[in-house]
Structure 1
């Protein structure tokens, strides 16, 4: 059956064969080459000399990506089974990789309707490396991290809110303390907020720093708090990760194609 043959070609799984691997690695190579071409296009001296080749390769890559996207649309009822063909189609289109595939070709067609340059969205296709390199150990690890984040989402949300609150308070304080002394460095609360982010994350910028005694004291406190605040999400995820590792299984979710019986992986879709 043609549909099952296309499914085996475009969808990586336990049925993976030489043709499937060749297809995946060919798409991966084309992704890398298209990104290299985009980089070269940003160099006026290179683009002016190789305009024909770069534009030609851009059209060629878009044609391949479009054909691939249409193939995935065609087998969406096998990769994303649902009660109706239309629902399967929508499940694929609005899945993570479905959106990435769509964004990869839209930048070529949108300028025909809207005058805007969206070619940078093609970089999102780098995540397709996950489909090519989806070996069991990598796949399990990625799903393990994703499960931990979902389980700890409430704690992570509280940590994020606490960080935002500290940043907001620090912005107000530094604006009112340093604003009169350094109107260029702290002209408003929004600019002070950016300074607080750089300080709280312990990145810091040497060109913007407090000059008053109280400002330096507050800045030191924010930097110290930043060490703890940044470490909190890391500790939560690490603890959850270790708990999951100690369990005998990851409760991996698998399903099989109702038509051909091949396993389908729904992770990250």
Structure 2
């Protein structure tokens, strides 16, 4: 039994984590899980329609129980096979990873609903967190999640600055407007609604300064808010650009390794294609990288990329 357990665990890991990107079985399982996640999101949306939920309540509840069972089994299975991953090698490390937290959030609302009396509307809304499970299967969403993970420090710094600006803006608005508009700016917490709408450049217009000092202060906060709103977008754009460059560099390195002997065999081509799909790069981008690497490799070998003939060697004249 002790000898069979590691084999069984490796087999389950192969099915769930799909290290072999060309394997049909794990790919079909991945498609089935994506379909189940999508159906869950659709079911949550339809449950908010009163007549539809009243007519099909039994079907919706049964589908939710089956989905909860599948997602719980998936989470426990991934936790069990975590040591098989050479990059993780620890269940504790896997459980604290972003994807594992997303998997836990997908089942936690339903479990809490069984243990505690929660509002059904809140429970339905929390079940929409299952949509985040698609980050495991979508390279684009996975790239965005990686950006949030790597740029966490920058986001925290930006959030801290935003909080400081929020307190400063609401304090200034209260000071300028509390006498003229005691209902809207009667206290600093009450003025925070205006400060949030102004700093985020939303500007609902339901609360506006009426005094001269308040209008001048509001104009300054609005200008500052434009820069504050652009700060997170700049961090995300920079992080996505960095992630894309890294992924292209990974595929480029794979091409260079395959072209060391001058040609790409079928096994190397399959490995490159699997890596391309994992990184979420298009075939056009992969072809461009291949041509670039091939041209550089042939140039180093003294071969013309166009005709395949040896390039003439020019000796320096003394």
Same fold at TM > 0.5: yes
Q: Is the 8 A contact 1:170 1:196 kept in 2?
A: yes
Q: In the TM superposition, what whole-angstrom CA distance separates every residue of 1:205-250 from its partner, at most 9, and x where no partner exists?
A: 1111111111111111111111223334544665676678778847
Partner residue, 1:127: 132
CA distance in 2: counterparts of 1:71 and 1:140, whole angstroms: 21
Residue in structure 1 matching 2:27, options 7, 21, 39: 21
Partner residue, 2:97: 95
CA distance in 2: counterparts of 1:243 and 1:43, whole angstroms: 43
Shift of 1:44: 2.0
Q: Is the 8 A contact 2:14 2:20 kept in 1?
A: no
CA distance in 2: counterparts of 1:139 and 1:233, whole angstroms: 17
Q: Find the residue that maps to 1:184 and give its secondary structure.
A: helix
Higher RCO (CA 8 Å, separation ≥ 6 residues) = 1
Q: Find the residue that maps to 1:204 and give its secondary structure.
A: coil
Q: TM-score, normalised by structure 1?
A: 0.76
Note the 1:214-225 alignment, pairs <5 A: 214-225=213-224
Note the 1:100-179 alignment, pairs <5 A: 100-117=102-119, 118-134=123-139, 138=140, 141-142=143-144, 145=147, 149=151, 153=153, 157-179=156-178
CA RMSD of aligned residues (A): 3.2
1:45 aligns with 2:44: no
Gaps of 5+ in 2: 1-6, 252-274, 280-318
Q: Find the residue that maps to 1:206 and give its secondary structure.
A: coil
Shift of 1:123: 2.1
* Alignment length (residue pairs): 242
CA distance in 2: counterparts of 1:244 and 1:29, whole angstroms: 28
Q: Find the residue that maps to 2:183 and give its secondary structure.
A: coil
CA distance in 1: counterparts of 2:126 and 2:59, whole angstroms: 21
Partner residue, 1:206: 205
Distance 1:232 1:130, change over 3 A: closer
Distance 1:32 1:221, change over 3 A: same
CA distance in 2: counterparts of 1:139 and 1:13, whole angstroms: 19
CA distance in 2: counterparts of 1:19 and 1:229, whole angstroms: 48
Q: Find the residue that maps to 2:182 and give its secondary structure.
A: coil
1:35 aligns with 2:34: no
Q: Find the residue that maps to 1:75 and give its secondary structure.
A: helix
CA distance in 1: counterparts of 2:116 and 2:138, whole angstroms: 36
Gaps of 5+ in 1: 83-87, 252-262
Distance 1:164 1:133, change over 3 A: closer
Partner residue, 1:257: none
CA distance in 2: counterparts of 1:104 and 1:234, whole angstroms: 27
Residue in structure 1 matching 2:71, options 65, 68, 71: 65
CA distance in 1: counterparts of 2:148 and 2:250, whole angstroms: 11
Partner residue, 1:8: 14
Shift of 1:139: 8.3
- Select the structure of larger CA radius of gyration: 2
CA distance in 2: counterparts of 1:243 and 1:96, whole angstroms: 19
Shift of 1:55: 1.1
